[in-house]
Each structure stands twice: as structure tokens, then as C-alpha cells.
Amino acid sequence: MGQDVLLKMVDITKTFPGVKALDKVGLEVQAGTVHALMGENGAGKSTLMKCLFGIYSKDGGHIYLEGREVNFRSSKEALENGVAMVHQELNQALKRSVMDNIWLGRYPTIGGIAVNERKMYKDTMAVFQELGIDVDPYRIMSTMPVSQRQMVEIAKAVSYNSKVIVFDEPTSSLTEEEVEHLFRIINMLRDRGVGIIYISHKMAEIKRISDYITVMRDGQWVATEPADKLEMADIIRLMVGRELTNQFPPKTNTPGEVYLKVEGITGMYNQLKNVSFEARRGEIVGLAGLDSSGRTETLESIFGIRTRKEGTVTLGGRRCLNRSAGESIKNGFALLTEERRATGIFGVLNIRDNTVISSLKRHKRLGLYLSEKSQREDTQHYIDALRTKTPSQETKIRSLSGGNQQKVIIGRWLLTEPEVLLLDEPTRGIDVGAKYEIYQLILDLANKGKTVIMVSSEMPELLGVCDRIVVMSGGRVAGEVDAATATQEQIMTLAAKYA
């Protein structure tokens, strides 16, 4: 284990209007180590890294890289000085090729004029071969699943020959096999003397990959310890400031009669093949499967934002065509999408606007205007109910942490008073305390007779929250298991059936 201090952050302070995001936070990263950064949503982890990476300008404190004080004014400057960051919310040029995305802003040229495509292809292949990534450099980014786009982002960070690489929730959209691949890459980088900062809410990952763990809470440093000295219970206690004994709330819902029927759904481009399942009132049904198994496509087809070639959706004996999102909402459906930044939030709008935007009819008065008072009351109700950390309702949603953005979107859908909630990775990138709150909310909805269909890549989550799990593989239903008695091995066997 390298003992040279690569990066030292001292007394970093950052204030946003109405909130002190960082209060004299320190972090020290040694060469050849993986340093985990943990804390609840809104603890300040991503803000601290954005101050390092030049996205935010710090209000106070000092940053030293290999003993030299630095103050990057842009991410470009950070990258050129050997600091790279793989962001949780991918920000890529989706209409451009893979290799364009890797070399954007630093294209190899011929005579300083024309782009040297041959060299760009060769350099891309060299990075991919080194990392064991199997992606066509000419492929357009928008045609690839999120997990492959994540791998391209990791390759880009490595291509800068960075001394320090920040991974912000790198496995939130990866399958188990891809997580293993990522860990091999991280171990290779560690052996080369790179300093890795690893932000994640997944305890098992943190214990497995980290050398050191730093915990933050409410914008402050709480503790830094060698990873082998901290048990999971210790980490949770440091993060939330209290004991958290149960990971999942006790199941108190009692499923009633069959309410939702999905029959023979087939996609336009063969992503789905004859998908059929049923769900009861007050039941939580999980959709499990590997990446590209058709889980997300199933939810989007039910909700009408993905065109169906064949198949029917029936709710309470009434056929629902669901030809658009608007029609689906009228029919009592709500969809929480997987990628909140791309398809969930309206980043330039404040929290109140993001909360009420799907339920404006509730706030109409005399058919002429929207009641500000009623919008404020509804927004405040869900800020309180979901314990969303925000300075005010006027705060722009893009300035909240990922988990708090997710809570706002959940509040938005609950205001539409849906009968069926379609949840795609509802706890992705969310800390352990907030996860429990969302699990409890899902259970409360089931107790009120709502039907919940939930996609998750985390099998313990599906087993802990759901009543039944429908397993998908290769765009079709591979089987169904009872969550109370099923094992992870059973689910994985079914998930590989048509893969």
C-alpha cells in the first residue's frame, strides 16, 4: 500500500444560498489506495468532489496535489493536471461516437488541422484492450445501454493517465458481472499507484474494495478509518448519527384481488417478446433480470412511452390503451424513470414546480388560474413526508443531491394519486437511511391498496421489499418466484435463462 499523500484537502468550505454545503471538510488520499467517501444524500460528498474537480469554486480551504497547492477553475484544468471524475449522472454527447466522447476537446490532429481518425481509433482500442472493454469505438453513444456508457466514461478517465480518479456511484447502473469488471480495473489502477476516491451507498462494495473510509454528515467530516476497522453497523451509525437495525421495514401489506393484467406485450423492435404477468391490489411485484433483459422496456411499454407491437394492459377489468404518458396518468398509472437527470427532473425549475407539474389540475381555480397556496401546501406536504433536504421550495432542483431529487420526483407522482406505480430503480444512488424511508413509502402505498411494480438491480432489495418477483431474461418472462422463500441463486438462474 502506497504511503505517499497524493491529495490533501484542508478546511474546504462551500455555501449555497440558504445552506452551508461544506463546513471545513478535510480529506487525505494516499497513492495506490482506494479511499471510500460515504454519507447520506446531502452530506456533501459530491459537492466536495466538485470543488476538487473545478465544477464549483470553494469559498475557503486549500487543496494540495502531490504537495503543490492547486485551485482548478474548470474540469478541463483538473483533467490536464491528473485529476479525473466519473460522474454518477452521465453527461455525454449522445449523438456522437464512443471515440468522439473519449477524445472530445483533445482530438489528435494531422498538421494541427484535420482530425486524425486513424490515430483516435487506435488510441481508443489501446485503452479498451488494456481495460478489457468490448465496445465498438464507432458506435453512437445513444444506442448503448447506460452500463456500457458508464464503462466508456471510465475509459475516458483512465485515458488521461490520471493520478487521482473519483468514482461517484460507479456501479449504480451496472450488472453484477460489470461490477466485477469495474473492480478489476480499480485494482489495476491501485497497483499502478493511482489514488481512487470511491463514492457509493453500497456497503458490501465499500467493505470489499476500500482501504480507507471517510464518513461525512451534514456537510462536515465525521471520521476517517481503515476499512477493515469498521463494520457495516459502525458505518451506518457514523452516517446517520443513530442506530439503524433493520434494512427493510416489516411487510404489513395484504395483496387482494388481481387488479393489473399485462398480456402478450411485444415490442416494435423485438426488445420484448410476449411479456405477460399479473399484479394484485396492495401487492409489490419486483421485476428482476440482467441489464438489457427488458425490465425498463416493460415499464415504458405499460406506460405508453414505448410503442407496443402487440399486447394489452388491463386495469380492474378495463382495457387501458395507454398510448401516451398523458393518457396513462388519466388511467391511474405513474412512472418513476431510471435516469432522473435525463428523464425525471426539470433542472432549471425549482422544487415546487417539479413537484406539481404532473398534477396541475389539482391547483386550478375557476378554470382560470393556478392557486399558489395549494401548490405550496402540496409541495410542503411531500418535503416533510419524504424528509427532503432543501433550503426552500424555491431552490432549483438541480442543486439538490441525487437522492433528494429522487424524493421530489416520487412526491410529484404521488400527487397524481395513481392506482399503479411503476418504479424503475427507485433507490438508485440513495443512502441507506433514505432507502428505508422510500421502502416504507412503497409499503404504505401497498397498504392503501395501490399496486406497485418495481425494477431493481439489487436482489436483496427485491427480496426484502416485494411480495413476488417476476424474472426477465432476453426480453421475455423467464419465471416467477415468491419473495418470501426465493434465493438470489434462483433469481440469477432464471435471469440467465434466455440471456
Q: Could you report the per-residue pLDDT of 169-214, keeping only the tens digit for each?
A: 888 767 778 889 889 999 999 999 999 999 987 888 888 999 999 9
Which helix (H) or strand (E) segment holds residue 208: the answer is helix 203-209
Q: Which residues of 38-68 are buried (b: 16+ CB within 10 A; e: fewer)?
A: bbbbbbbbbbbbbbbbbbbebeebebebbee
Q: Report the distance separating Cα 312 and Cα 280, nearest Å.
A: 17
Q: Report the distance separating Cα 411 and Cα 378, nearest Å.
A: 9
Mean pLDDT of the chain: 88
Q: What is the CA angle 332-338-342, rounded to 5?
A: 105
Strands 420-424 and 451-455: parallel
Q: Which residues of 136-154 are buried (b: 16+ CB within 10 A; e: fewer)?
A: ebeeebeebebbbbbbbbb
User: How far is residue 329 from each of residues 134, 209, 226, 370, 422, measured CA to CA in Å?
Assistant: 40, 43, 49, 20, 11
Q: Which residues of 165-193 are buried (b: 16+ CB within 10 A; e: fewer)?
A: bbbbbbbbbbbbebbebbbebbeebbeee
Walk along the chain (499 residues) and give the pLDDT tens digit of each residue.
Answer: 345 899 999 999 998 766 788 999 999 999 999 999 998 767 889 889 999 999 999 999 999 999 999 999 998 899 999 999 988 777 788 899 999 999 988 888 888 788 888 999 999 999 999 988 889 999 999 898 878 888 898 899 889 889 999 998 888 767 778 889 889 999 999 999 999 999 987 888 888 999 999 999 888 999 999 999 998 888 878 887 766 667 889 999 999 999 999 999 999 877 899 999 999 999 999 999 877 789 999 999 999 999 899 999 999 999 999 999 889 999 999 998 876 666 678 877 899 999 988 788 888 888 788 888 989 998 999 888 888 888 889 888 888 877 788 888 888 888 888 999 999 988 877 777 778 888 988 999 999 999 999 999 888 899 999 999 999 998 999 999 999 999 888 998 898 888 6
